Amino acid sequence: MLAPASVSDYRILAKRKLPRMLFDYLDGGAFSEHTLAENRQAFTQWSFRQRVMQDVAQVDTSTTLLGAPASLPLVMAPMGLAGMLAKRGEVQAAGAGARAGVPFCLSTVGICSVEEVAKDVPNADLWFQLYVLKDRGFSAELLQRAWQAGFKTLVFTVDLARLGLRYRDVRNGMNGNLSFSAKIRKALDLLGHPRWLADVPIGGKPLTFGNLASAVPSGRKLEDFKAWVESQFDPSVTWSDLDWIRQNWPGKLIIKGIMEVDDALSAVEVGADAVVVSNHGGRQLDGAPASLSVLPAIAETVAGKCQVFVDGGVQSGQDLVRALCLGADGCLMGRPWGYALAAGGQAAVESLLDNIRLETELTLSLMGKTALGELSRSDLLSLSEVQAMARLGG
DSSP state of 282: G
What pLDDT sits at residue 234?
77
Q: Report angle CA 356, 361, 364 to the nearest 5 degrees.
A: 125
Confirm whether 280 is a catalytic residue: yes
Q: What is the distance of C-alpha 163 from the center of its chain?
A: 17
Q: What is the pLDDT of residue 299?
A: 98
pLDDT of residue 238: 86
* Whole-number Å distance between alpha carbons of 13 and 339: 8
Question: Which of the four pLDDT bands, split at 50, 70 and 90, describes residue 309?
Answer: very high
- The predicted model gives 313-336 an average pLDDT of 98
For residue 298, name the pLDDT band (cuts at 50, 70, 90).
Answer: very high
Give the per-residue pLDDT at 217. Answer: 58
Report DSSP letters for 172-185, one per residue: TTTTS---HHHHHH
Q: In angstroms, rounded to a whole number, what is the distance separating the alpha carbons of residues 311 and 290? A: 9
CB distance 341 to 28 below 8 Å: no
State how far the Cα of 331 lies from the Cα of 82, in Å rounded to an integer. 19
What value does the mean pLDDT take over residues 300-307?
97
Q: Write the pLDDT tens digit of every residue in 176-234.
A: 667 777 778 888 888 889 999 999 999 988 888 888 877 775 545 666 666 677 777 77
**Per-domain boundaries in the chain:** 7-390
d(CA 35, CA 44): 15
Structure-model confidence comparison of residues 177 and 172, the more confident one: 172
Q: How far apart are CA 231 and CA 162, in angstroms?
A: 9
The tens digit of pLDDT for each residue in 343-388 reads 999 999 999 999 999 999 999 999 999 999 999 999 999 988 888 8
For residues 334 and 2, is the Cβ–Cβ distance under 8 A? no
Between 277 and 3, residue with greater pLDDT: 277
- 7-390 has CATH 1.20.1250.20 classification: no
pLDDT in tens, 22-49: 999 999 999 999 999 999 999 999 999 9
**Cα 309 from Cα 78, distance rounded (Å):** 14
Q: Mean pLDDT, to the nearest integer, of 103-123?
A: 96
Q: Name the percent of the chain in helix, strand, coil, to the closest 5.
A: 50, 15, 35
Which is the catalytic residue, given 88, 152, 166, 280?
280
Nearest Cα neighbor of 115 from 87, 86, 140, 144 is 144
* Res. 129: pLDDT tops 90: yes
pLDDT in the model for residue 185:
83
Decide which of 58 and 214 is more confident. 58
DSSP, res 68: E
Per-residue pLDDT tens for 60-69? Answer: 999 999 999 9
Strands (E), the chain: 46-48, 63-65, 68-70, 74-76, 104-106, 126-131, 153-157, 252-258, 274-277, 307-310, 330-333, 380-382
**CA proximity to 330, closest of 352, 360, 368:** 360
Q: What letters, b where the CB count within 10 A reaches 16 and e where it falls short, cover 264-287?
A: bebbbebebbbbbbbbbbbbbebe
Section 331-344 average pLDDT: 98
Bond preceding residue 206 cis, omega within 30 of 0: yes
Q: Rounded to 5 degrees, what are φ and ψ at 51? A: -120, 140
β-partners of residue 127 are 105, 153
Helix (H) or strand (E) holding 349: helix 335-366
Q: Dump pLDDT digits (tens) for 230-267.
A: 777 778 888 988 888 888 999 999 999 999 999 999 99
- Mean pLDDT of all residues belonging to the chain: 92
What does the DSSP 8-state code read for residue 49?
P
Contact 163, 230 (CB under 8 A): yes
> Please, which pLDDT band fits residue 390 given cuts at 50, 70 and 90?
confident
Backbone angles phi, psi at 231, to 5 degrees: -70, -20
pLDDT at residue 218, as a whole number: 54
Predicted local confidence at residue 225, as pLDDT: 64
Looking at residue 237, what is its pLDDT?
82
Dist. CA 364–CA 321, nearest whole Å: 8
